[in-house]
Amino acid sequence: MTHHHLTEETKPSPAPTRQLTLCFSGTRRGARLARQLTVQQFTEWTGLPYDSDPARAIALVTAELASNAVRHGSLPGRDFRLTLHLLPDRFRVEVTDTRPERLPPPVTPRSTDETSGRGLLLVEAYADRWGRTVREAYTRTVWAEVQLLTTDS
């Protein structure tokens, strides 16, 4: 796995074979709906079952990115945007929020008695690549890519 965490994207991803963009309320309910829709769309586009390893990874990654957008990247009354890309060999999740000045914290191991702060460790563990992109003064996008199943030879 190649992890590009907390860095600007240096090269564009190949053109998606399918793409979907939706806005969700900057609430816990919006984050939950984003995760559910992402897994549903992933299984529909790929034909992989809900209980496949890639679907589980997509669910965890989306839950964390959407939760972070609500918790750390939201301004009152502002939505967050979810964009899904089915690429030839992977699935990309992008969550865009309204706080470009707030960078994700460094990914460091946490004490076992801490009750929060482990989410990006999950993204690090389940995504093959992830990072952030700030293209304008008003938004930032945190993205993650999960490889699709490959056949073993």
Render pLDDT for 103-114 as a digit per residue (tens, 0 to 9).
555 555 544 554
- Which tokens sit at 56? 């589980």
- The CB density around residue 65, as the number of other CB atoms within 10 Å, is 32
pLDDT value at residue 115: 45
Model's pTM, two decimal places?
0.78
Domain count, the chain: 1
Mean pLDDT of the chain: 81
Residue 73 lies in a domain: yes
Q: What is the pLDDT of residues 116-150, one digit of tens each?
A: 456 778 898 999 999 988 878 788 899 999 998 75
Residue 87 lies in a domain: yes
Residue 11 lies in a domain: no
Residue 12 lies in a domain: no
Residue 60 lies in a domain: yes
Query: Whole domain around residue 94: which residue ranges?
Result: 18-102+119-147
Mean pLDDT for the stretch of residues 37-62: 96
Distance, in Å, from the CA atom of 39 to the CA atom of 80, rounded to the nearest integer, reads 18
Residue 108 lies in a domain: no
The CATH number for 52's domain is 3.30.565.10
In sequence order, what are the beta bridge partners of 21? 83
Q: How far lies 152's CA from each of 69, 80, 137, 149, in Å? A: 36, 38, 44, 9
Quote the distance between the C-alpha of residue 52 and its chain's center.
18
Residue 71 lies in a domain: yes
Strand arrangement, sheet containing 90-97: 18-24, 80-86, 90-97, 140-147, 129-133
Which residues, including other chains, have CB under 8 Å from residue 122's CB and lie 6 or more apart?
60, 61, 64
Residue 27 lies in a domain: yes
Distance, in Å, from the CA atom of 33 to the CA atom of 116, rounded to the nearest integer, reads 21
